[in-house]
Amino acid sequence: MCKRLLLVGMLALAATFLFPGVRGAAAVPTIRIGINAPLTGDIPKVGEGTKYAAQMWLEDINAAGGLDVGGKKFKVELIIEDNESKAESAVTVATKLITEDEVLAIIGPQASKQAVPAGEVANNYKTPMISPWSTNPDTTKDRPYVFRGCFLDPFQGPVAANFIKDEFGFKKAAVLYDVASDYPKGLAEFFKKAWEEINGPGSVVAFESFTTKDVDFSSQLTKIIQSGADVLFTPQYYNEVALIVQQAHQLGWDKPIVGSDSWGSAETVKLCGKDCYGLFFSTHYAAAGATGATKEFIDRYNAKYGYVPDDVGALTWDSMRILQQAIQDTGGLSGDVKKDRQAVRDALAKIKNFEGITGKMTFTEDGDPIKCAVIVRISDKGEFEFYKSVCP
């Protein structure tokens, strides 16, 4: 009897150390959510959007006095960590959030370069992770604990290819992409495949690459111009978009340049200027001309932070709300973080027809949502204008 008591006591003590989330059950129980964001490094604007959207969500929760799960109010704590836009750091951050901070779930990383390796960690530790923005298939593939808030590149590639075909009727395309980054590389290949299915083999007349941190693309662009391509597809991040578009124009390229959802940052037009006006890209949502809940979100964000949120902000917002719904759908948390993670994961997989501000979502087996893409035109005022919608 005495021994048993001791054992129970020791277990309780161990539990207190192991699961700080449960510590002090007398106080308000806390749910910890990890945010794995690129606050510094190559794409800091993406990290900023992630942080702001997540904090806006937390405000709502706090205003309601906490998160209501199965009739019990929980305090929510966000643990925002910087992954420096590096794959290694994203893995470190994910591991720290799971093992040290004992988070219930993780939102992020955003870019596929970080989301693919971080997803591996989350899946191994059986912790639900939602990447709002990563479109590379490998992020969620064979990983039951990893989800995403956006469509995939195998969908986006054909969207861009079909759009160019329908809009311009071109037959020859060129591609310029970063071979050292998962997202552009994956999307460039999906675009090539889709384009060659439509226009026949060899219709991608130039398939040129560079590596991250390169700033001079003159040699590749000269090759692309010589190849006789009608259109340039470049699925790059905003800092490179500015350089590629400007250099292309300086080398005499006056044909269309089409991009992908990585263009949809508030920084793109700021860095690129007039050179980017009139160009098209495929993305998750268009800020100009939004209605309903989407407009409400945009106005609130704009009033608070002083600029129109880009797709990352909107997708992070949706991902936070999907997670919120999943936590609430569990019907109650046990306090045992391992059990709760499993419950949240199961609830996430069951979500159907979620009304997000970036469209309606239903998760597939792989944890990928089925949703529509939007083609955006950069207007002559530098705004992202809705052009057309493409659904699967």
Partner 1 sequence: MAVFLQNLINALQWGSFYALIALGYSMVYSILMLFNFAHGDIFMVGAYIGFGVSTALVALTAMGAFALPNWLILVLTILFSMFLTSFVGMIVERVGYRPLRDAPRASAAITGLMIGIILETGNLALLGAQRISFPPLIRTATYDLGGVYVTNKKIMIVVVSLGLALALHQFIRRTRWGMAIRAMAFDYVVVPLMGVPLNKMAALTFGLGSALAAAAGILFGVAYPVLDPYMGILIGWKAFVAAILGGRGSILGATLAGFLMGFIEIFVAMVFPSTLRDLIAYSIILLILVFRPHGFFGEPYSARLRL
The CB-of-117 to partner 1 minimum distance in angstroms stands at 21
Residue 257: enclosing H or E segment and its boundaries? strand 257-259
- Indicate the residue among 82 and 340 with the shorter CB distance to partner 1: 82
Q: Are strands 30-37 and 105-107 parallel, antiparallel or unpaired?
A: parallel
Backbone φ, ψ for residue 208 (5° rounding): -105, 150
CA–CA dist 90, 110 (Å, integer)? 10
- Indicate the residue among 218 and 302 with the shorter CB distance to partner 1: 218
Residues 6+ apart with CB under 8 A from 296: none
- Indicate the residue among 259 and 367 with the shorter CB distance to partner 1: 259
The CB-of-9 to partner 1 minimum distance in angstroms stands at 48
- Indicate the residue among 139 and 316 with the shorter CB distance to partner 1: 316
- Indicate the residue among 244 and 298 with the shorter CB distance to partner 1: 244
The CB-of-247 to partner 1 minimum distance in angstroms stands at 8
- Indicate the residue among 141 and 249 with the shorter CB distance to partner 1: 249
The CB-of-37 to partner 1 minimum distance in angstroms stands at 12
User: What does the block give as tokens for 338?
Assistant: 């391992």
CA–CA dist 215, 25 (Å, integer)? 54
The side-by-side arrangement of strands in the sheet containing 257-259 is: 204-210, 173-178, 231-233, 257-259, 280-283, 373-378, 384-390
- Indicate the residue among 114 and 139 with the shorter CB distance to partner 1: 114
The CB-of-294 to partner 1 minimum distance in angstroms stands at 25
The CB-of-40 to partner 1 minimum distance in angstroms stands at 4
Q: Are strands 129-131 and 231-233 parallel, antiparallel or unpaired?
A: unpaired
Do 175 and 234 contact (CB within 8 A), yes or no?
Answer: yes
The CB-of-384 to partner 1 minimum distance in angstroms stands at 18
CA–CA dist 330, 348 (Å, integer)? 9
Q: Determine whether 308 is exposed, middle or buried from the number of CB atoms within 10 Å of its CB (0-12, 13-18, 19+).
A: middle
Which residues contribute to the site for partner 1 (CB under 8 A)?
Answer: 39-42, 44-45, 47, 179, 208-211, 213, 215-216, 218-220, 222-223, 226, 238-239, 242-243, 246, 249-252, 267, 270-271, 273
Task: Please count the other Cβ atoms lying within 10 Å of the Cβ belonging to residue 41.
Answer: 16
